[in-house]
Structure 1
Amino acid sequence: MKVGLLHARSGVAGMWAPSMDAAALVGAAEINAAGGILGEEIELVFGDCGFSVRESLDAVDTLIDIDGVDAIIGGHASNVRDAVSRRVASKVPYIYTPQYEGIACGPSTVAIGSTDHELMAPALQWLRSEKQAERFFFVGNDYIWPRMALTTTRRLMREQGTHLVGQAIVPIKVADYSELLKQIAQSGAQVVIQALIGLSSVEFNRAFAAAGLDQKMLRFGLIVDETVICGIGSDASANLFTAASYFADHHSRSNDHFLERYHDAFGALAPPVSAGSVGYYEGLHVLAGLARDLQTRNSRALAHHLHRPMPRPTARHMLDDKPVGQWPLVYMGRADGVTLQVVASLTH
């Protein structure tokens, strides 16, 4: 059974590709060792969706029409998700794995990742109670995910009685952050919330630290994971927090087992595991479980089944023994050099 992996392999979001590839290979090996999907082994096919709709649709057409994949696992940014959903509709099942806005997905699509609201609501409350943070500044890139994260931020500020003292929506590539950093410094913010993608997050956080603001205020970054923190570097990661349903640092029987397999396969210097790469691993197991539940590998039958909205718990019901599990919890992580340490469990 051919499974297409659709994510950026270059550009602003390409930094995640090595760890996503590696985690997917571990997932495929596990499924194949257990007999494959209804007796047929998985063959992975890799596609590069870039960061534009045109690139993504070209990659989808190649995966379906030329490579002949039976399913697609998507680990890309949300700006192309709806276009991909429309392209694959009724052809192949499409499992979307990253953290996302929480909105309804298109036809033949199921999303399994955590939503911004699920992560931000307890995280911002923790920053208020543990760090006495009342004033926040929001910085995000100019596309659907950060804009909806800003809407979520405003709603949470109203509900929690805190204040959004400034906001900025910036392009993916910014040559000079000096004016924005001056605006942040003068805003009176205690925490800067970030919804920046990949290299944009790396470059902003490096500039933030170079301006000395890392010693004056806290940062809370959405999708600042183990890959991004390596890019930011230890000199620029002071007072940087994030929230996620998965951290490589969080020990559990299932995560320790996964990491053992991962490092047995790729060594101690393997690409850092993060929520994004574990999502790919999960996506393959969800596909296998979906085929098992429906007793079919037929791509059109699986795609047709997903025309009806599938609740995330239904999609995740086969992940109880996996690192995140059926019911994702939320943890607060703090940068410690180029690693992320879990400092609090925000859901119980």
Structure 2
Amino acid sequence: MFALFGQGTGAGWLFDADFDDLVRGAVVRFAIPWPAWLGGEGRLEATGRIISVSPGRRIVMAHETPWRGRVVCTLTPDGGGTRVRVVAEIDDSGLAWLLTRYGLEPPDQAAESGTHRIGLLVSLSGSASVFAAASENLARMAVEEANAEGGVRGSPLRLLVADDATSARAGAVQMRRLVRAGCRAVFTNVTSATFDAIEPVARKSGVLLIHTPVNEGGRGGHGLLRLGERPAAQLSLAVPYLMRDSGGRRWYLTGNDYVWPRASNRQARRIIAAAGGTVAGERYAAIGTRRFDRLLEGIERSGADLVVSTFVGADEAVFERAFHAAGLRSRVRTLSLALDEATREHIGDAAATGLYSAFGYYQQLPTPGNRAFLARYRRHYGRLAPPVSSISESVYEAVHLYVAAARRTRDGEPAMIGKELPGTSLEVPRGRIRVARPDLLEQHMHLVRAVPGGFAREASTESPCSLA
């Protein structure tokens, strides 16, 4: 029975657990039985991490998304068979998540007097959930640090977390819940599809909306800020380098079918043409796609030397594992614009090695500030906490940018804070950043290559990037 763990034997054996290596710290993917009327076609995708293994006897796992907790599986001989005992624990935030998913209000919604409420809308479930656990950790850590320094004009920050389930419709519902709960600002680490759905809610309510991860840019204003890397900045650094280094000229563009991948690939066409390359093909797949056979056949038939991937989260992990299994990695280089540390971890060392990405931050960034930041993160959440990436670290720095601007206002109202944010400069783990405009964050950009255990830097911009 122990040897069957994680061998694809179905949901009857510990939630169809899937992992690369049964070792301490390895990521585990679950498929939990789930009411079909709540979405997910009778199963809920979840992630965890192996905490300890006693071969043949016991496995302990931390449950990371969509809720926090612990799963302990104990195996004992029982006559001619094996007795399996599974204990699954869930914390208070997990109970709140379950209540919300059932359409009920969590018990912590009553606003306390004297607190400054902010919200975090993140993908704790669905395809984009792979970087959610670290994003929530870093939001909470930033709030603790800000409160240790007096909060906002003497009022402690209070963080409320909501899950968009990688769904634009669910995101709009959860955005309204955060507004009703009294949040003055909401930080979003979600897809652009969800962002488009929640932006009208923020404008109508007057709540400040700060979108932190890589995105295509667009609308911005005092009540709406879009930080994070832009496709033009990522591609302008990566495309010429990869063409020179590989000698390839033919590109294939692919990704999820929503606004950010399509906008990114419009920029890719322009930058590839300027570098002397050509686009051999372009194809998209819906969020949640798990079979890429026809896409991989199309890439091979196109004769492409290089690929731009704009798949996100679990979709990117499944695509790159299939790409590697098809034998394409050895002859086709891939630039993935959303390949962060958490996604690389889910792809696995073997399938991810040789992938490229371009971000303003990566966990191995060799600076004293980053080393000190990571040490604080590990002290808070343990050495086996989910890895930090640009996508998750962006939430941490956005909270600190917001607090710095809020402290310069007289009443801490969202409209005034929104006006103060442009021009704000801060030293954060990725270095010196500046909110140049409501829709643009100036930062250095780094081209990195996936290696076992993380990333290695290939090239960097000489000055903070201002390409929108």
Q: Secondary structure at the match of 1:236?
A: helix
Quote the Cα distance in structure 2 between the aligned partners of 1:245 and 1:152: 18
Q: Does 1:186 align with 2:293?
A: no
Partner residue, 1:115: 230
Indicate conservation of the 8 Å contact 1:141/1:169, yes or no.
yes
1:301 CA drift (Å): 4.3
TM-score normalised over the length of structure 1: 0.92
Indicate conservation of the 8 Å contact 1:241/1:332, yes or no.
yes
Q: Kindly report which structure 2 residues correspond to 1:1-348, keeping only aligned pairs within 5 A, or say none.
A: 1-65=116-180, 67-89=181-203, 91-105=206-220, 108-299=223-414, 301-302=416-417, 305=419, 314=423, 317-326=424-433, 327-348=442-463
**Which contiguous aligned blocks of 4+ residues in structure 1 show a shift greater than 3 angstroms?**
299-303
Indicate conservation of the 8 Å contact 1:237/1:338, yes or no.
no
Indicate conservation of the 8 Å contact 1:23/1:281, yes or no.
yes
Indicate conservation of the 8 Å contact 2:121/2:190, yes or no.
yes
Q: Secondary structure at the match of 2:150?
A: coil
Quote the Cα distance in structure 2 between the aligned partners of 1:263 and 1:188: 45
Quote the Cα distance in structure 1 between the aligned partners of 2:458 and 2:274: 24
1:3 CA drift (Å): 0.9
Quote the Cα distance in structure 2 between the aligned partners of 1:242 and 1:300: 36
Indicate conservation of the 8 Å contact 2:169/2:197, yes or no.
no
Count of residues in correspondence between the two structures:
339
User: How many percent of aligned residue pairs carry the same amino acid?
Assistant: 29
Quote the Cα distance in structure 1 between the aligned partners of 2:264 and 2:342: 21
Structure 2: where are the runs of 5+ without partners?
Answer: 1-115, 434-441, 464-468
Matched letter for residue 248 of structure 2? A
Matched letter for residue 36 of structure 1? G
Matched letter for residue 336 of structure 2? G
Matched letter for residue 129 of structure 1? R
1:300 CA drift (Å): 5.1
Quote the Cα distance in structure 2 between the aligned partners of 1:302 and 1:59: 23
Indicate conservation of the 8 Å contact 1:215/1:238, yes or no.
no
Matched letter for residue 325 of structure 1? R
Closer/same/farther in 2, CA of residues 188 and 347 from structure 1, 3 Å limit: farther
Moved more, 242-251 or 286-295: 286-295
Quote the Cα distance in structure 1 between the aligned partners of 2:161 and 2:396: 14
Quote the Cα distance in structure 2 between the aligned partners of 1:238 and 1:276: 20
Indicate conservation of the 8 Å contact 1:85/1:106, yes or no.
no
Q: Secondary structure at the match of 2:283?
A: strand
1:53 CA drift (Å): 2.6
Matched letter for residue 239 of structure 2? L
Matched letter for residue 70 of structure 1? R
More helix by share: 1
Quote the Cα distance in structure 2 between the aligned partners of 1:188 and 1:292: 56
Indicate conservation of the 8 Å contact 1:95/1:287, yes or no.
no
Query: RCO higher in 1 or 2 (8 Å CA, sep ≥ 6)?
Result: 1
1:51 CA drift (Å): 2.3
Quote the Cα distance in structure 1 between the aligned partners of 2:221 and 2:152: 25
Structure 1: where are the runs of 5+ without partners?
Answer: none
Residues 108-131 of structure 1 show CA distances to partners (whole Å, capped at 9, x for unaligned) of 111121111111111101112222
Quote the Cα distance in structure 1 between the aligned partners of 2:364 and 2:338: 16
Q: Secondary structure at the match of 1:294?
A: coil
Residues 252-284 of structure 1 show CA distances to partners (whole Å, capped at 9, x for unaligned) of 122112111111111111110000111100110
Indicate conservation of the 8 Å contact 2:361/2:390, yes or no.
yes
Q: Secondary structure at the match of 2:377?
A: helix
Which structure: larger Rg? 2
Q: Secondary structure at the match of 2:159?
A: strand
Partner residue, 2:110: none
Closer/same/farther in 2, CA of residues 321 and 195 from structure 1, 3 Å limit: closer
Residues 92-148 of structure 1 show CA distances to partners (whole Å, capped at 9, x for unaligned) of 111110111122236711112111111111110111222223111111111000010
Indicate conservation of the 8 Å contact 2:402/2:417, yes or no.
no
1:81 CA drift (Å): 1.4
Closer/same/farther in 2, CA of residues 26 and 18 from structure 1, 3 Å limit: same
Q: Secondary structure at the match of 1:98?
A: coil
